[in-house]
């Protein structure tokens, strides 16, 4: 019995080492499955091909329990997509994430699983070119695979968006793959590939984001984003962004 308890304790400590060490990318808030508390102030600017859009938003999260996380976002847009410059709130987002399990797969890899539900309330006006015209619910599932030796974290996710009110019918299924890698002690790099399929319009508005970040200290981080639309159905041509993160 003592031996079994000892092995369980060792395994638990190994998982905590993978997912709770301060320098681990698995606990970098740029990983949506990280068990962290943070508030990010972000700005992104997009070239829409003949028009532009700027998005200023708050993007944060807090842990309700060790295995239950709540993410939140509030977006404010400026765009001239209609030919006239308009500004307005775009949407508010709440996302509950539950972590059913964490375990060590072998001496190199650990895994955290996740399921959740995202609620988006549209606050915009499509006549201004802001907002989607629909409130949506979006269940999702995924996992984070953390490499103890290199710090690399791979996060595959699958999510389905369905509208329940508004003037626009939304039915989209999105596959997402995130790769996070720390380097030079206080820096990280992130690749975020999103491939949605719009069931109503038979389109694939895919995007990719590259993020480079720096941990100023244990409480503050800075990062920059490079974004690009992919394929003929891309929602934008290119974009850039900056972010300021507060960790607590």
pLDDT of residue 53: 98
**Tokens coding 18:** 């993978």
Distance, in Å, from the CA atom of 202 to the CA atom of 115, rounded to the nearest integer, reads 27
Residue 139: which of 156, 122, 121, 115 has the closest Cα?
115
pLDDT above 80 (res 187): yes
- pLDDT tens for each residue of 146-164: 999 999 999 999 999 999 9
The secondary element (H helix, E strand) that includes residue 46 is strand 38-47
Question: What sign does the CA torsion over 176, 89, 139, 97 have?
Answer: positive
- pLDDT tens for each residue of 4-46: 444 444 444 444 444 444 333 448 999 999 999 999 999 999 9
pLDDT of residue 54: 98
What average pLDDT score do residues 163-175 get? Answer: 97
pLDDT of residue 16: 42
Max alpha carbon distance in the chain (Å)?
73
Average the pLDDT over each of 5-9, 31-35, 187-191, 201-205 and give the range with the smallest value.
Answer: 5-9
Q: Say which residue, 79 or 185, is predicted with more confidence.
A: 79
Token pair 């981080």 in the structure block, residue: 221
Token pair 């974004």 in the structure block, residue: 227
218, β-bridge pairs: none
- Percent of the chain scoring above 90 in pLDDT: 88
pLDDT of residue 185: 87
pLDDT of residue 22: 36
Distance, in Å, from the CA atom of 183 to the CA atom of 15, rounded to the nearest integer, reads 22
Full set of structural domains in the chain with CATH: 2-247 (2.40.160.40)
The pTM (predicted TM-score) of the whole model is 0.89
- 116 Cβ neighbours under 8 A, 6+ residues apart: 95, 96, 97, 98, 139, 140, 141
């Amino acid at each position: 019995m003592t031996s079994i308890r000892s092995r369980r304790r060792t395994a638990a400590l190994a998982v905590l080492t993978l997912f709770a060490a301060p320098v681990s990318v698995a606990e970098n808030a740029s990983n949506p499955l990280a068990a962290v508390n943070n508030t990010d102030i972000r700005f992104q600017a997009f070239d829409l091909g003949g028009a532009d859009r700027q998005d200023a938003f708050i993007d944060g999260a807090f842990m309700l329990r060790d295995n239950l996380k709540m993410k939140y976002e509030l977006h404010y847009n400026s765009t001239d997509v209609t030919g006239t410059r308009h500004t307005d709130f775009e949407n508010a987002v709440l996302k509950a994430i539950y972590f059913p399990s964490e375990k060590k797969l072998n001496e190199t890899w650990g895994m955290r699983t996740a399921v959740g539900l995202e609620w988006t309330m549209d606050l915009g006006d499509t006549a201004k070119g802001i907002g989607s015209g629909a409130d949506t619910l979006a269940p999702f599932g995924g996992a984070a695979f953390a490499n103890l030796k290199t710090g690399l974290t791979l996060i595959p996710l699958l999510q389905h968006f369905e509208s329940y009110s508004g003037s626009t019918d939304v039915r989209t299924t999105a596959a997402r793959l995130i790769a996070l890698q720390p380097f030079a002690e206080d820096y990280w790099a992130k690749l975020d590939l999103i491939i949605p399929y719009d069931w109503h319009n038979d389109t694939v508005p895919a995007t990719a984001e590259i993020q480079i970040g720096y941990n100023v200290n244990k409480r503050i981080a800075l990062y920059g984003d490079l974004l690009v639309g992919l394929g003929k159905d891309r929602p934008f041509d290119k974009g850039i962004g900056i972010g300021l993160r507060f960790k607590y």
